[in-house]
Amino acid sequence: MSADITLLCIGGVDSSGAAGLDADREAAESTGVKPILIPTAYTQQDDQAVHALGAREPEEWLLEARAVLARCDGIKIGLLPGPEHILAAVELLGALGDRHWVFDPVIESSSGFRFLNTRALGLLREELLPMGPVLTPNLNEAALLAGVEFSGLAAREKRVAAARNLISGGAESVVLKGGHGRENPLLDLVSRAGHEPFWIERSRIEGSRRGTGCRFATILAAHLAQGADVTQAAEHAGAWVARYVATCGEV
């Protein structure tokens, strides 16, 4: 692990500190990677609800991100709070080159607040996916992006089909998280074009914590920036989140 590695994290600020960029900072620093944090929104939320979105002007954060992009070894993008923000991200990614970038598609909050409307979801599929992300959806997000029923993703073959759908849309690879499923052991799926599906199994831990999706994607992005392949990075991310949940956030 090296502090010489820098990870650009773009996403929302959670006023409670449980998720968003605060979670990104914690996760990145735990791997020895230096995070640079660019907020797209200042949300007001708690365990019960999102009370205000507080989106910034996309031109503001895009300017900040452009200023630091050249010195970053990787990039992780979380909350993009609307269509204009998605298009701003597409503009930024055009200058990324061959560096990996991880997209955690924040579509709705744990409390059910919907961040992205139908138009924004369409732009994710039509404009952002072709930019080649390492995509880290949970089961609900994968269903929405692939246009399938959530209930169908209980079956392994349906998860593989959904992941392949997203890869055919342009994703470099898909790490489909199984935390919202019911199976035990929990199953994360790593899907890459031209490779057989790879399943990562680990014991399901009782309980849940907000911000696990943010942390998973950031740990994965940090390991990619340090040279791991996507399967290795996903294994590290899953193990880290499991410890985080099991120890009540003390990792």
- Distance between CA atoms of 165 and 148, rounded to whole angstroms? 10
**Percent of the chain whose predicted confidence (pLDDT) is above 90:** 81
pLDDT in tens, 31-40: 999 999 999 9
Cβ-based neighbours of 190, under 8 Å, separated by 6 or more: 173, 174, 175, 197, 198, 199, 200, 230, 231, 234
pLDDT in tens, 106-164: 998 877 889 999 999 999 999 999 999 999 999 999 999 999 999 889 999 999 999 99
- Indicate whether 207 pLDDT > 90: no
173-176 and 74-77 strand pairing: unpaired
* Amino acid, single-letter form, for residue 107: I
- Distance between CA atoms of 193 and 222, rounded to whole angstroms? 22
pLDDT in tens, 48-101: 889 999 999 999 999 999 999 999 999 999 999 999 999 999 999 999 998 999
Contact 57, 93 (CB under 8 A): no
Q: Residue 114, Cβ neighbours under 10 Å: how many?
A: 11
Domains of the chain (ranges, CATH numbers): 6-246 (3.40.1190.20)
- Distance between CA atoms of 234 and 79, rounded to whole angstroms? 20
What is the band of 170 on the pLDDT scale with cuts at 50, 70, 90?
very high
- Distance between CA atoms of 208 and 248, rounded to whole angstroms? 9
Contact 43, 232 (CB under 8 A): no
- Distance between CA atoms of 36 and 24, rounded to whole angstroms? 10
- Indicate whether 251 pLDDT > 70: no
Provide the whole-model pTM: 0.94
